[in-house]
Amino acid sequence: MSALTKVLAEEIRKIEETKFMERDLFPHRLTHHLMPPAGWLNDPNGLCYYKGRYHVFFQYSPFEVKGGLKFWGHYSSEDLVSWRYEGAALYPDSPMDCHGVYSGSALAEEDVMHLFYAGNVKLDGDYDYINNGRITSTIHVESTDGIRFGVKEEVIPASQYPEDYTCHIRDPKVWKEHDQYQMVLGGRKKNDQGAVLFYRSEDLKKWEFDGELTTEKPFGYMWECPDVFELDGQKILSVSPQGVKREKYRYQNIYLSGYFVMKEEKVQAEDFCEWDMGFDFYAPQTFLDQKGRRLLIGWMGMPDADEEYQNRTLEEGWQHCLTVPRELRYQNGKIYQYPVEELMNLRRWEKKLSQEDREVETEGAFDLELQLEKGPVKVVLTDIFTLEHKDGILTLTMNEEAGAGRRSRNACVEQVKDIRILADTSAMEIYVNQGEVVFSSRFYGKSPVHTLKMEAEEFRGGFWKLEKMKIIKA
């Protein structure tokens, strides 16, 4: 460990210890969503299952609640409900990443965990930092225990990226396919068109450019956080485009996250399907676990959204969280996503709901399941939100104060058959039709006590209070 790393590690240790001691004093602190011990969290990184544990790394700015110098934070778990905070895993402590350890991925082999990420360097001077002034290279580092990492190695220097791209190439995702290693990187071309770059390697050290993939006409100027995977025999490309024109019933956020079902190794803009229709979802990443499940975790936040809505955790010294792990399945030409079954272990007190018993008082985190048999539906959490289906449109409307600038989001849904709501102290995920449509949003109520009301002609359901996840500090 270098002298700089030791200094940074000690400063992070001090601030994290203080926040861990104070955490029960924060009214908006989350109970079943992973959040930063202190400061700022954004993209999930390095998701994998390795040597008996799930590993979730994340973009982390421990000293700046509004974001700043990026590290990688690290949680691990045996069961997805009890977590251990492992501390900061990667530091911006080398000439290749001195201005930020940016996003990347993990490749977990039998004995070695490989991490790949984008190292960020910004030059001093009069630069636009898009076409010049920025050096971003792909860096590789290894671990044999998933906790301590070795020497950083630059495997794709910025000078080897294609000449028709800007300085914005980042977010490597690596996997193995047909005995060969594959990598995708997100990029911004000089004509302001988002694209994905493909690389291949025999040894994870030497990488060869293997082409690019984009739409015929520009679909946004930048594609971040690419991910390529197979789901039930279908090859999927997940990307987070920036610069797509917003619409009333789709593309409602400043930036998007979604996927293409790849057809003959091509993608078309009209086939783009959004992962999440809520206010707070970006930069998801997937991985395979030991059970063969394809799991997804996203950042429950949105970059550059400060002028539209805020997070009222700033005064508590932290900002943003991750979604719960979601299991993916492919059905009827689209991907369905649903909370992993392990989260049911957090359920405690239960109440049955029906037409005769339509209300329940909530306090803190809860899990709601509704099966709808007839008629339109409306779900209201007093002083927080209204979810209503009418004329083929499902609308989430936030209370003005609780939304902190968040107002409404829409989704085209022909019929609502069931709804599940996972609500935390200041975060909620709404799953419709077994995850055909999802809304994720932060919220900030005056009180943890609310009344949950259901309106539908015929329905049945259940309501559970949720126990806090166990989180310890290594």
Q: What's the token pair of residue 151?
A: 């020497």
Q: What is the DSSP letter of 367?
A: E
Selecting among 43, 97, 367, 424, the annotated active-site residue is 43
* CA gap 368, 346 in Å, rounded: 13
Q: What one-letter code names the amino acid at 201?
A: S
* CA gap 245, 73 in Å, rounded: 33
Q: What's the token pair of residue 324?
A: 């719960």
Q: State residue 92 phi and psi, 5-degree precision.
A: -80, 75
Name the one residue in this structure whose structure tokens are 């306090």.
363
Q: What is the DSSP letter of 8?
A: H
Sheet containing 258-261, strands listed edge to edge, beginning at the edge strand earlier in sequence:
222-231, 234-242, 258-261, 273-274
Name the one residue in this structure whose structure tokens are 């030791």.
6
Where does residue 457 rank: exposed (0-12), middle (13-18), buried (19+ CB within 10 A)? exposed
Q: What's the token pair of residue 303?
A: 């970059």
Q: What DSSP string runs through 294-352?
A: EEEEEEES-TT-TTT---TTGGGTEE-EEPPPEEEEEETTEEEEEE-GGGGGGEEEEEE
Torsion over CA: 74, 75, 78, 84 (sign): positive
Mark whether 43 is an active-site residue.
Answer: yes
Give every CB contact of residue 148 below 8 A, 6+ residues apart in sequence: none
C-beta of residue 275 within 8 angstroms of C-beta of residue 238: yes
Q: What one-letter code names the amino acid at 240?
A: S
* CA gap 260, 455 in Å, rounded: 35
- Mark out the alpha helices in 162-308 (DSSP H runs): none
Name the one residue in this structure whose structure tokens are 């609308």.
395
Q: Which residues are catalytic?
A: 43
